[in-house]
Chain A
Amino acid sequence: MTELLVYGIVLGSIIALGAIGLTLLYGILRFAHFAHGDLMTFGAYVVLFLHSELLPWLGIPELRLGALSFGGRMLGALVISMAVTAGLALLIDRLLYEPLRTRKSSPVILAIASLGMAFILRSLIYIVWGPQFLFYTQELRPAWELPLEVRLRPDQLFILVLALVLVALLYLFLQHTTLGKAMRATADNPQLAWVCGIDTRRVTAWTWVLGAALAAAAGVLYGIDAQLRPDMGWSFLLPLFAAVILGGIGSPVGALVGGIILGVVQQVSTAFLLPTYKPAVAFVVLIILLLVRPHGLFGRTT
């Protein structure tokens, strides 16, 4: 039971990374970004390419990192993938969403456009890498035996720590930098931000960069924890949205808490139910919580 709780927190931290980006994008651009899960997949496969193909070909050695199943090459690949995914998101925004925004398209049009983009990204991954399950490494590392009968793989600890570090960095950015405050201001009141002279285009661009980079990290961490599949991000989409809604739409802290709750509930439910029911359990929790708190845990009532 305690073990499932710990695994739930690990899964939840991955959901949270994706959900935070999704909630930031919603706050600033006011549309549901359905391609977010597929940005996760994209980020994960970029790391696969870098880690297994490009970096070895360039002769960059894999520096062992203690008990982890991967090494320094993976960390380098992760950073590059976050940047590449951010670049992809900026490119998509410039080509697809920005023209729609200039035409003052409704949020529904933008959401459906992003749904189309989700299919495109996923199909490209099918074409390049095929439908089979893939792994970053074949290495098996012994799990640590922790108190309370918890067996934790070193990789899982890494996932948890990295997710926490990224979330903490984002929090510091939003609270203490001028650009971070401008992002919150724009989410609050875009018209007033414009009146203040805030360059809302720059704010939008940074929102994409942060959201996509966090999504890429989430995809890579899931790849480390489980495996890579072209539909991995797509299957994450419902939990991501559930976490965003649970936490209160537009609230990064809410998305973090919502993600952890969903991860824990999904894992703990496997003690009583078949794992197939995991998504359903998440939604039962979501429905109950929304009946009690219609604006989510950290949502604004106005």
Chain B
Amino acid sequence: MTTALLDVRHVSSGYGEMVILHDVSMHVEPGEIVTLIGPNGAGKSTLLKTIFGLLTPTAGHIRFQDTDITGMKPPLLVRQGISYVPQVDNVFPSLTVQENLEMGAFVREDAYTDRLEEIFTLFPALRLKRKQRAGALSGGERQMVAMGRALMLDPTLLLLDEPSAGLAPRMVGLVLEKIIEINRTGVALLMVEQNARQALKLSHRGYVMASGQVRFEGQGQHLLEDEEVGRLYLGGRR
């Protein structure tokens, strides 16, 4: 297990006095897509926020590439190679698409024009709208901007909080396709997703969370076929 890219060990965390995660252990291997599923309030988003230093764990340890990142704050974490896309308010509305992407590269010391080109190749729709304000874009386009912004630092691990939430069905498919494309470039992804079935299909592994704990862990396909997981967390039969 020492080879894991991200290793979360016995972590408890929450908002102030309110403890939401209880003794959670999970891991992400290099190049993997891992999905967290489970009912509302299960602590999936809390786990992402704790990994990304927006919340401080009250117990346990988090390691990333053999560095202890427990309690480390976002400005340091982005330099370590972790990027995070929040579920809502994940673009700068009054900045243009290109400026949003530039903000993603804020901590880069080197020139980032090559990376900008790569992002525009990944999201061709953004190239056409690079001068438009992000606030004027559709929900799906905004999600592309948010993901593009997070990718500007060429992260090793990308954390996505419900990337398809609130999108039109056609856009959901597109966003999930982009996730596979991003993964093909070698980026490991850890995401929370409401469209659990679709997400598990494209994931290498998944964790089922409930009441702040991990209940099941397994390969994406196995979780999809597991009767208990299906009955309890995937809304009955397929």
- Nearest chain A CB to B51 CB, angstrom units: 13
Interface pick from B19-27, B84-92, B215-223: B84-92
Contact B86 A196 (CB under 8 A): no
The interface bits of chain A over 153-195 (1 if a CB of B lies within 8 angstroms of the residue's CB, else 0) are 0000000000000000000000000100110110011011111
Contact A191 B94 (CB under 8 A): no
Contact A188 B102 (CB under 8 A): no
B:53-81 near A, CB below 8 Å = 54, 74-75, 77-79
Known: A184-B92, A185-B95, A302-B93. Contact between A195 and B106, CB under 8 A? no
Contact B86 A192 (CB under 8 A): yes
How far is B108's CA from A284's CA once the two chains are assembled, in angstroms? 49
B107 in the interface (beta carbon within 8 A): yes
Known: A194-B74, A195-B52, A302-B135. Contact between A181 and B89, CB under 8 A? no
Contact B93 A192 (CB under 8 A): no
Q: Would you list 25 pairs from A and B whose C-beta atoms are within 8 A, ordered by A residue? A: A181-B95, A181-B99, A181-B102, A184-B94, A185-B92, A185-B95, A185-B99, A188-B92, A189-B91, A189-B93, A192-B86, A192-B89, A192-B91, A193-B103, A194-B75, A195-B54, A195-B74, A195-B84, A195-B86, A196-B78, A196-B104, A196-B149, A197-B77, A198-B103, A302-B135
Residues of B within 8 A of A302 (CB): 93, 135
Q: How many chain A residues have a CB neighbour from B under 8 Å? A: 18
- Nearest chain B CB to A107 CB, angstrom units: 19
A300 in the interface (beta carbon within 8 A): yes
Contact B106 A196 (CB under 8 A): yes
Residues of B within 8 A of A194 (CB): 74-75
Q: Is the interface of A mostly helix, strand, loop or mixed?
A: helix
Residues of B within 8 A of A199 (CB): 75
Contact B75 A178 (CB under 8 A): no
Top 7 closest A-B pairs, CB basis? Answer: A197-B78, A197-B107, A188-B92, A197-B75, A185-B92, A185-B103, A198-B106
Partner of A182, one of B54, B84, B90, B106: B106
Residues of A within 8 A of B99 (CB): 181, 184-185
The interface bits of chain B over 122-136 (1 if a CB of A lies within 8 angstroms of the residue's CB, else 0) are 000000000000010
Contact A188 B86 (CB under 8 A): no
Residues of A within 8 A of B75 (CB): 194, 197-199
- Nearest chain B CB to A15 CB, angstrom units: 24
Partner of A197, one of B79, B90, B93, B102: B79
A:277-295 near B, CB below 8 Å = none
Residues of A within 8 A of B77 (CB): 197
Contact B92 A189 (CB under 8 A): yes
Which range holds the interface residue count of chain B?
20 to 34
Residues of A within 8 A of B107 (CB): 196-198
**Interface residues in chain A, defined as those with a beta carbon under 8 Å from any beta carbon in chain B:** 178, 181-182, 184-185, 188-189, 191-199, 300, 302
B:93-115 near A, CB below 8 Å = 93-95, 99, 102-104, 106-107
How far is B93's CA from A278's CA once the two chains are assembled, in angstroms? 38
Partner of B92, one of A178, A192, A300: A192
How far is B96's CA from A184's CA once the two chains are assembled, in angstroms? 11
Contact B90 A178 (CB under 8 A): no
Residues of A within 8 A of B153 (CB): 197
- Nearest chain A CB to B35 CB, angstrom units: 21
Partner of B89, one of A185, A191, A197: A191
How far is B135's CA from A195's CA once the two chains are assembled, in angstroms? 18
Known: A178-B102, A198-B103. Contact between A192 and B74, CB under 8 A? no
Residues of B within 8 A of A189 (CB): 89, 91-93
- Nearest chain B CB to A302 CB, angstrom units: 7
How far is B112's CA from A178's CA once the two chains are assembled, in angstroms? 12
Chain B CB within 10 Å — which of A191, A197, A302 has the most?
Answer: A197
How far is B77's CA from A145's CA once the two chains are assembled, in angstroms? 64
Contact A188 B94 (CB under 8 A): yes
Given pairs A197-B106, A198-B107, 9 additional interface contacts (CB within 8 A): A188-B93, A189-B93, A194-B75, A195-B86, A196-B74, A197-B78, A197-B153, A199-B75, A302-B93
Residues of B within 8 A of A196 (CB): 74, 78, 103-104, 106-107, 149
Contact B93 A181 (CB under 8 A): no
